[in-house]
Every structure is written in C-alpha cells, then in structure tokens.
Structure 1
Amino acid sequence: MKHFSEMSESALRVVDAAEGLIQERGYNGFSYDDVAKLVGIKKPSIHHHFATKGDLATAVAQRYTHRFREQLLRIEVQHARAPDRLTAYATLFENTFAAEHRLCVCGMLGAEAKSLPDGVAHEVSRFFEANTDWLAMVITEGQRAQQLRAQPEARALADAFLATLEGAMIVARSVRGARGPAGVAQTYLSTLLA
C-alpha cells in the first residue's frame, strides 16, 4: 500500500471521503458504496486505489496522525508555556468537533479496536502513543517550570487529558447543551495550574 504522501489526487479524494465517514459513523458504519457516492466514482475505482477497506482506513488514520503531529509542532512554535500549549492542544479537538460534530478519527476507530484490521489498529495505536508522549513532555516541562502542579506524574495527567478530550467530544455529540472539548479542557486545566 502506498503512503498517503505518494497518492494521486483521486486517491486522496477517496481518503477525504472515508475520513468524513469514519468521523461520522466509524469504521463499521460505512462501505465503499458510501465512499463512491460521495466522491462520484464507481466502486471498482476505489478498489484500484485501495484493495480493501482496511487499506483505506489505514491510509486515513496514517494521514490523520501525520496532520496532528504537524499541528503539535505548530503549537510548540507558537506557544512557549505549557498551559498555553495544552489549551492550544484542546483547540485541535474543539475545531474537529465544530465541523458538524465530527469526532476524532482515531477516537472513533479506537472505539472499534476489537473489530479493526491489524494495519488500522496499528495506526490508531501510533496516534494515541504520539499524543500521550507529546502531552507528557509538555506537562513535564510545565511541572519543571512550576507552571503546573507537580502531582500526579506527567504520564498519568497526559493519559487523563487525552481521555477527557476524546470523551468530551462523545458526550457533547450525544447530549444537547453539553460543553465541548474546549470547555471541558478549561475546567481540567484549571485543576493543574500551579
């Protein structure tokens, strides 16, 4: 399977359509028929680019992780302080959710982890590892600079913050009037400030 950076424009349109469908319905909630209708092509054309649905979802998760990592680098450049970086991180989730109450691609896929092909599950795991590693690094730096409380330890806080944001998206999609990721993150972060 080609890396997403080597794909043709038509293959990327298929990836775009599948990404939206995953954010809306999950892996088990869409078919190649759904993608074909969105893109305006026939099913065999999708199979030309992606032999299996697993290959397609792997490309979606791979590209999503890559884009997220790019955003993390931008946050590091734009914000020096840990609390500001964590607030900007929460904004990534808020921006995703603001687009028609879409959920994080890897959050949706992670909910279906037991039924995912191995390649997709691997990419989802990479997404969560990259995010918790980055969050733990930011929190550790914030604790050392006495911008954030020293306890609990950084990895536990990173895991909890990521889970909080993913959960906030699900709750806000399900419960009218519930606060989205940015509001929930603000409350969470207020408990961490030194």
Structure 2
Amino acid sequence: MKQFSDLTPSAERIVDAAEGLIQTLGYNGFSYEDVAKIVGIRKPSIHHHFPSKMELGAVVAQRYTHRFREALLHVEGTVSKAPARLRAYADLFEATYEKSRRLCICGMLGAEADSLPQEITAQVKRFFSVNLEWLTTVFAEGMAEGSLKSGHSAAELAEAFMCTLEGALVVGRGWPQAHGPRRSAEVLLAALAP
C-alpha cells in the first residue's frame, strides 16, 4: 500500500480532494468521478496513482493521523499545563468545524466502519489510539499536578473528552445552533476544575 510520505504533487492533490469529500460526504458518498472534477483530471489519472478507492481512503486516513499527531506534538512543545493542552486539543476540532462544519476524517470514517475495507478501519483505529494515548497522558498529568480533579481514571476521561469533541462536530453539523467543540470542551473542563 502507498504511504502518504511517498506522494507526488499530483497524488497529493488527489488526496486533498478525497479528504474534503470524506469530511463532507463520507467514504461511501464519493466516487473517483467526484475527485476528478475537483482536481481537474480524468479518472484514469486517479487510478494511475491509486488503483483502488480503498488505497486512496487508507492514505487519506494515514496522512490525517500523521498531521494530527504532529499537531499534538506541537501542543506538547508549546503548552505546559494540562487544562491548556486540552483546550488546544479542542481547538484542533474547532478548526475543522470552522471549515463549513466539516467532520474529522476518522470520525466520519468511524461512522461508516461496518462498510469499510479493513485497511481503512485499521487507519481509523490508529487515529483513535494515538489520540486516546495522548489524552490519557494529559489527563493523568493534570490530576497529578492538581489542575484537574475527577473520580474517574485518566483513560475514562480521555475517552469521554474525545467522544464529546467528535460528537460536537456531528451535532453541530445537524443543528446550526450548536456551539461547537470548543464550547463543549470548556463545559467539561469547568466540571473537572479543582
């Protein structure tokens, strides 16, 4: 399978188009014809880079996970306290939300998991594993330093926090009055303040 780091500029444009389509329509909602229209090429050119839609979808999820992981490393390197790190994490979701109420790639793919090829669901699981591991560490540090307080474990808080943000994207898309991920994060963090 192709790796996102091996993409040519042409293949990168195809992945960019597929990413936007997945965020708005889901994996099962787009075709190579849709990608061809966005990129301005013919379908055979897409097949040259990505012989199967499965491979394209897996590369989209792989690249998204890599970018998200880089963003988490940036937060670690620039933000010291756990509550501020968690706000910065929520801002990553908010940035996606602000792009025409798009959804997280892996959240959208997770909703379609039962109908996706195993290669794509493996990438989705990797995304959630990376996020939960990072969040668990942040919650544990916050409870250890006293900036967060809860009777729940760090792992339980991590899962609840991530699920809240993913859910805020979905609800915000269907209910225009919703406040989005940042507001949802603030409500949860206020409840965890010592």
Kindly state the Cα deviation for residue 2 of structure 1 after the two structures are TM-superposed. 2.0
Structure 2 counterpart of 1:180: 180
Kindly state the Cα deviation for residue 193 of structure 1 after the two structures are TM-superposed. 1.4
In structure 1, the residue corresponding to 2:90 is in which secondary structure?
A: helix
Residue pairs, 1:78-97, within 5 angstroms: 78-97=78-97
C-alpha separation between the residues in 1 aligned to 2:47 and 2:192? 48
In structure 2, the residue corresponding to 1:169 is in which secondary structure?
A: helix
Kindly state the Cα deviation for residue 17 of structure 1 after the two structures are TM-superposed. 0.1
CA-based RMSD: 0.6
Asked whether the 8 Å contact 2:2–2:55 carries over to 1, the reply is: no
Asked whether the 8 Å contact 2:139–2:148 carries over to 1, the reply is: yes
Structure 1 counterpart of 2:100: 100
Report the AA paired with residue 154 of structure 1.
A
C-alpha separation between the residues in 2 aligned to 1:150 and 1:111? 29
Asked whether the 8 Å contact 2:58–2:123 carries over to 1, the reply is: yes
2:146 is the counterpart of 1:140: no
C-alpha separation between the residues in 2 aligned to 1:52 and 1:173? 30
Which string of whole-angstrom CA distances, capped at 9 and with x for unpartnered residues, describes residues 113-161 of structure 1?
A: 0001011000000000000000000000111001111420000000000
Kindly state the Cα deviation for residue 192 of structure 1 after the two structures are TM-superposed. 1.1
Report the AA paired with residue 33 of structure 2.
D
Structure 2 counterpart of 1:72: 72
Structure 2 counterpart of 1:128: 128
Report the AA paired with residue 94 of structure 1.
E
Structure 1 counterpart of 2:5: 5
Unaligned runs of 5+ in 2: none
Report the AA paired with residue 45 of structure 2.
S
Asked whether the 8 Å contact 2:18–2:35 carries over to 1, the reply is: yes
In structure 1, the residue corresponding to 2:13 is in which secondary structure?
A: helix
TM-score by length of 1: 0.99
C-alpha separation between the residues in 2 aligned to 1:168 and 1:7? 32
Asked whether the 8 Å contact 2:171–2:178 carries over to 1, the reply is: yes
Residue pairs, 1:156-167, within 5 angstroms: 156-167=156-167
Structure 1 counterpart of 2:111: 111
C-alpha separation between the residues in 1 aligned to 2:52 and 2:151? 46
Poorly superposed stretches of 4+, deviation over 3 Å = none
C-alpha separation between the residues in 2 aligned to 1:95 and 1:151? 31
Number of equivalences = 194
Report the AA paired with residue 83 of structure 2.
P
TM-score by length of 2: 0.99
Structure 1 counterpart of 2:36: 36
Structure 2 counterpart of 1:190: 190
C-alpha separation between the residues in 2 aligned to 1:142 and 1:178? 28
